Amino acid sequence: MVKLNQNITKLQSSYLFPEVLRRKKSFLEKNPEADLISLSIGDTTEPIPSLITEAMNKAATSLASKKSYVGYGPEQGLLELREKITAKYYPEHIDPNDLFINDGAKCDLGRLQMFFGQKVHVALQDPAYPVYVDGSVLAGQTGEFCPDKNTYEDLTLLPCLPENNFFPNLDNLSGIDLIYFCSPHNPTGATATFEQLEKLVAFAKRNKAIIIYDSAYAFYIQDPSLPKSIYEIEGADEVAIEIGSFSKLAGFTGVRLGWSIIPQKLKFEDGTSVKKLWYRYLSTIYNGASNIAQYGGLACMSRDGQLELKKIISFYLENARILKEAIDEKFQTFSPLNAPYIWTYLGPKSSWDYFNMLLEKASLVTVPGSGFGHCGEGFVRFSAFGSRENIQRAAKRILTL
Ligand code: PLP
């Protein structure tokens, strides 16, 4: 008989979002007339601009002809797309040969977790995107779950709270191999300054650690004084991997496209190139992102594509502003509007209590902060993805609470 993979059994409870859906469904069963507004899962709602879908249509149609048909592409992705992404988002910092196109950030996060194996000690922001913890559990990096402490024995959680401006205290931290860092941060929206990222890079250098920098929301940063990439910090290419995504940039959550940057200068302890081994590993378990999606990605990088995407991002940010204005009247928000999320403190009770209160009193579906980690207790995350009409209706309901 096949033995159970024990790492899977170490996962705690259900993944956060299925639990949110379960509660929503049960509420609707009891209140079938309820007019629910979802401000929960961070999924995009605006359609993809037609110039981008047309590029994908064209790429799909070309597969129907003997002359233009292509099969497997390069595992690393189309060179033209890699060149366009580096020129647009990492000018002078990153070589297109250090960028790997993927089928979405989450997929590469999972592959990276397996790539680094079981013997790494992991640290991450608390609260955080749940995939960092759960993927580390699956990769066997966390040790056993300790119910008394409500965390894993070998996992280091770095509290990110209003008291520390949502930036972890790295001063007395040691023995860390991999440190996840997300900016703008899901769920809090906190966006690291140059000074903070310099501290993070200095920490990684001191500890010979590798940063996995998740920049899935970088395009939402409006404040020109804030860094959009870890590579804006000198020396970061010796210690950091950056993961980007087309999901929240272009509404590609269903299309699936993103990238990972593994700089040439990044080395393992024994001097082996991380990039070289990553390429070897990747080409064993992965055959590249869909070519149709990559042509969509190229259209996103065109001048007109960029203009269209900027409009959509401004739309979501205006949604966030409307929501924040209403929530600020009633509760305490912490989001600086560089992300499509409003991180809100409601009080000393459990986040699930506040989730239930918002559901029952205002028919609003949110995400309980505790689902992102202990430090999210008492908080709720409101998502700004939605139609303007729904966001305005939601804002009105919040004002009546
Ligand atoms: N990273 C963060 C911080 C996210 O919030 C998400 C999705 O919500 C992802 C990565 C996943 O992105 P993708 O759709 O590219 O897999």
* Ligand 1-lining residues (CB < 6 angstroms): 42, 104-106, 129, 182, 186, 214, 216, 245, 247, 253, 258
CA distance 215 to 52: 22
Peptide bond into 184 cis (omega under 30): yes
Which residue's CA is minimally distant from atom 8 of ligand 1?
42
Question: Regarding predicted confidence, which is higher, 50 or 75?
Answer: 50
Query: Rounded to the nearest 5°, which phi and psi values hold at 214?
Result: -95, 110
Q: Which of 131, 191, 219 to mutate to test the pocket of ligand 1 (most atoms within 8 A of CB)?
A: 131
Q: What is the mean pLDDT of residues 239-250?
A: 98
Distance 328 CA to ligand 1 centre (A): 27
Token pair for 207:
């500890």
**How far is the first Cα of the chain from the last one, in angstroms, to the nearest whole number?**
56
Distance 243 CA to ligand 1 centre (A): 9
Q: Is the pLDDT of residue 241 over 80?
A: yes
Q: What is the DSSP letter of 47?
A: P
Which residue's CA is minimally distant from atom 1 of ligand 1?
216
Report the topology of domain 8-38+304-399. Answer: Aspartate Aminotransferase, domain 1 (3.90.1150)
Among 45, 103, 128, smallest CA distance to 340 is for: 45
Query: Rounded to the nearest 5°, which phi and psi values hold at 240?
Result: -130, 145
Q: Is the pLDDT of residue 15 over 80?
A: no
Q: Which of 109, 111, 113, 129 to mutate to test the pocket of ligand 1 (most atoms within 8 A of CB)?
A: 129
Q: What is the pLDDT of residues 152-162, one digit of tens each?
A: 999 999 999 99
Distance 216 CA to ligand 1 centre (A): 6
Would you state the pLDDT for residue 12?
A: 85
Predicted confidence band at 48 (pLDDT cuts at 50, 70, 90)? Answer: very high
Would you state the pLDDT for residue 18?
A: 84
Would you state the pLDDT for residue 19?
A: 85
Q: Which atom of ligand 1 is nearest to the CA of 245?
A: 15
Distance 106 CA to ligand 1 centre (A): 6
Would you state the pLDDT for residue 148?
A: 84
Sequence spans of domains, the chain: 8-38+304-399, 53-303
CA distance 388 to 358: 20
Q: Is the pLDDT of residue 330 over 80?
A: yes
Would you state the pLDDT for residue 114?
A: 97
Distance 58 CA to ligand 1 centre (A): 27
What percentage of the chain exceeds 70 in pLDDT?
99
Would you state the pLDDT for residue 50?
A: 98
CA distance 382 to 323: 8
Would you state the pLDDT for residue 93?
A: 87
Would you state the pLDDT for residue 388?
A: 98
Distance 105 CA to ligand 1 centre (A): 6
Q: Is the pLDDT of residue 13 over 80?
A: no
Q: What is the mean pLDDT of residues 76-89?
A: 97
Distance 401 CA to ligand 1 centre (A): 31
Predicted confidence band at 99 (pLDDT cuts at 50, 70, 90)? Answer: very high
Token pair for 118:
């079981």
Which residue's CA is minimally distant from atom 12 of ligand 1?
105
Predicted confidence band at 14 (pLDDT cuts at 50, 70, 90)? Answer: low
Q: What is the mean pLDDT of residues 335-340?
A: 92
Q: Is the pLDDT of residue 108 over 80?
A: yes
200 SS3 class: helix
The single residue listed with the structure tokens 């009247």 is 329
CATH code of the domain occupying 53-303: 3.40.640.10
